[in-house]
Amino acid sequence: MSKVYLTQCGGFTARHGHGGTLAEAVHAHHFHYEVTFYGPTNAEGYLIDFRLLADTFQQEINEKLEGHNLGEILKNPTTEELAVWMYNRLNALLPHLFSVKVGEEPDRWIEYRGEN
């Protein structure tokens, strides 16, 4: 069996704002995410069924976040906290999770690999 990295992407539009040193009014972004899994292929030659990933991402990420204010979901609605929230949510449901990357702009990403 070979070990492979599998990355599935998605996106949603949500709002967030910040107090403190970040001090921004509530505003919207189209967040883009990439979720990567790592592990050995199974006897049929694949790591995870893409259909399972698409269904899980739709139910656990997109439906929970699309059109919402992240300040109602996260204590600190930063992209960093969003990446951690997504990682923890998916890690409880899917095997072989390696990392979650979230971008609020095309040139800025946060990557979380489960380290504290």
Residue among 48, 46, 112, 58 nearest 83 (CA)? 112
Q: Provide the 3-class DSSP secondary structure of residue 113.
A: coil
pLDDT tens column, 51-72: 999 999 999 999 999 999 999 9
Q: Provide the 3-class DSSP secondary structure of residue 53.
A: helix
pLDDT tens column, 21-35: 878 888 899 999 999
Average pLDDT, the chain: 94
Instruction: Record the tokens describing residue 43, joined without a space.
Output: 């006897």
Rounded to two decimals, the pTM is: 0.92
Q: Is the pLDDT of residue 38 over 90?
A: yes
pLDDT tens column, 39-50: 999 999 999 999
